[in-house]
């Protein structure tokens, strides 16, 4: 199985590149951000709980997102592999993911970490905020909080995967196609 953690700060291009990778490698896309936003739009209890947290740019609790990923893994027993987009975001999530995959006799193949400078992230997210109306993209102080959460809680996962010899860092500035080519060449050489 090919199991990819697609990693990077908010606005790094994770969602954009995941959509290309799932087609090329026939993978199931698991984006915790997308799953949470669909819970919000359906008005579920979980969605109501998550909305105010996401609107502030904080991280939703580990318990909620680990439960979501666990049930999605169970629902896709015949998958060729998975792209984990926006998950894991904390060490507790990364440990839980390793254990869930071990239970299915598989493991993470690689962490592809997109590198993008903060000024470019802010520019991309404010643009998406204008185009899509996403509440957490509209205002610079919420974006700054998301970048802070990433630096404090999520970026340390690079060490977690580098200790397992699975980290690959990729320049995330350039055209969508250029970045896709960089990701493909790492995957093709695994
Ligand atoms: P996510 O939905 O994961 O949001 P994101 O990190 O902002 O998006 P992403 O990184 O995928 O966007 P992309 O770069 O593709 O999370 C939102 C919130 O959900 C979090 O803040 C948190 O509250 C909660 N959450 C989600 N997962 C969680 C977890 N595991 N634990 C706890 N909480 C969790 O796109 C950004 C923009 O850049 C787009 O407009 C795109 O068109 C543009 N872009 C992409 N590539 C580009 C390029 N090469 N050049 C120029 N623009 C580009």
Per-residue pLDDT of the chain (190 residues), as tens digits, is: 999 999 999 999 999 999 999 999 999 999 999 999 999 999 999 999 999 999 999 999 999 999 999 999 999 999 999 999 999 999 999 999 999 999 999 999 999 999 999 999 999 999 999 999 899 999 999 999 999 999 999 999 999 999 999 999 999 999 999 999 999 999 999 9
User: Residue 54 is encoded by which pair of tokens?
Assistant: 């996401």
Rounded Cα gap, residues 127 and 138, in angstroms:
8
| Model confidence pLDDT, tens digit, residues 23-47 | 999 999 999 999 999 999 999 999 9
**Which residue segments constitute the domains of the chain, with CATH numbers given?**
2-27+79-188 (3.40.50.300)
Measure 122 CA to ligand 1 centroid, in angstroms. 11
Q: Is 47 in the pocket of ligand 1 (CB under 6 A)?
A: no
pTM, two decimals, is: 0.95
Rounded Cα gap, residues 39 and 47, in angstroms:
4
Q: Is 51 in the pocket of ligand 1 (CB under 6 A)?
A: no
What's the pLDDT at 29?
98
Rounded Cα gap, residues 63 and 40, in angstroms:
17
User: Residue 182 is encoded by which pair of tokens?
Assistant: 């960089």
User: Can 146 be counted among the known catalytic residues?
Assistant: yes
What's the pLDDT at 41?
96
Q: Is 60 in the pocket of ligand 1 (CB under 6 A)?
A: yes
What's the pLDDT at 16?
97
């Amino acid at each position: 199985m090919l199991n990819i953690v697609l990693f990077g700060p908010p606005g790094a291009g994770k969602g954009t590149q995941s959509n290309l990778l799932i087609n090329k490698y026939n993978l199931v896309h698991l984006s915790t951000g997308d799953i949470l936003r669909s819970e919000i739009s359906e008005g579920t209890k979980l969605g109501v709980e998550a909305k105010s947290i996401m609107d502030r740019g904080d991280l939703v609790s580990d318990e909620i997102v680990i439960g979501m990923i666990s049930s999605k893994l169970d629902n896709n027993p015949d998958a060729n592999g998975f792209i984990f987009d926006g998950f894991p975001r904390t060490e507790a999530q990364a440990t839980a993911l390793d254990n869930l995959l071990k239970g299915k006799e598989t493991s993470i193949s690689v962490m592809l970490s997109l590198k993008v400078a903060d000024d470019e992230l802010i520019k991309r997210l404010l643009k998406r905020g204008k185009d899509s109306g996403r509440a957490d993209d509209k205002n610079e102080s919420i974006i700054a909080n998301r970048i802070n959460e990433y630096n404090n809680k999520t970026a340390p996962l690079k060490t977690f995967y580098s200790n397992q010899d699975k980290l690959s860092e990729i320049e995330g500035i350039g055209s969508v196609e250029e970045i896709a080519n960089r990701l493909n060449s790492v995957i093709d050489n695994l």
